[in-house]
Amino acid sequence: MTCNNCGEEGHRRVDCTNPRKIICNNCDEEGHVGRDCPKPRDPARVKCRNCDEMGHSAKECPKPRDMSRIKCNECGEMGHWSRNCTNKGAGGDDDGFNATSGGGADYGSAPAVDTTQQLWKQDEPDISSGGGGW
């Protein structure tokens, strides 16, 4: 195994004793993450979290959403969002593909963050119309 931080053999990035490098997933330069990159986003480097193909985000994916990859934060089961959980309080965790984490080990992936924010915005109630206030 090769460390993704220092490039040395024999350990993983999480176990590396060298200072952690921050590398942009858009331009491969050190010192910033993709969402803070001053260069234009390269669409060819975006990986879809729905179909695993390169070139588009999950929000733009032409394929139907693969719900088997969604992990509920409420019960820990795969296949549904926590907002649709019928087994709330069953001890979910936060280590799969879900609306809050974006899932997987693709840390710092700006498209995933943008997609997650859009998913949440789709389900936000419209509070601008008034209704029962405080």
Give a yes or no: residue 86 inside a domain: yes
Give a yes or no: residue 93 inside a domain: yes
Domains in the chain: how many in total?
A: 1
Give a yes or no: residue 131 inside a domain: no
**DSSP one-letter code for 94:** S
Q: Rounded CA gap, 121 and 115, in Å?
A: 10
From 4, 20, 24, select the one nearest 12 (Cα to Cα): 4
Taking the complete model, does pTM exceed 0.75, yes or no? no
Give a yes or no: residue 5 inside a domain: no
Q: Reply yes or no on whether the pLDDT at 116 is more than 50.
A: no
User: 24 φ, ψ to 5°?
Assistant: -70, 135
Segment 18-54, tens digit of pLDDT: 988 888 888 889 999 888 999 998 888 888 989 999 9
Segments forming the whole domain that contains residue 108: 65-121
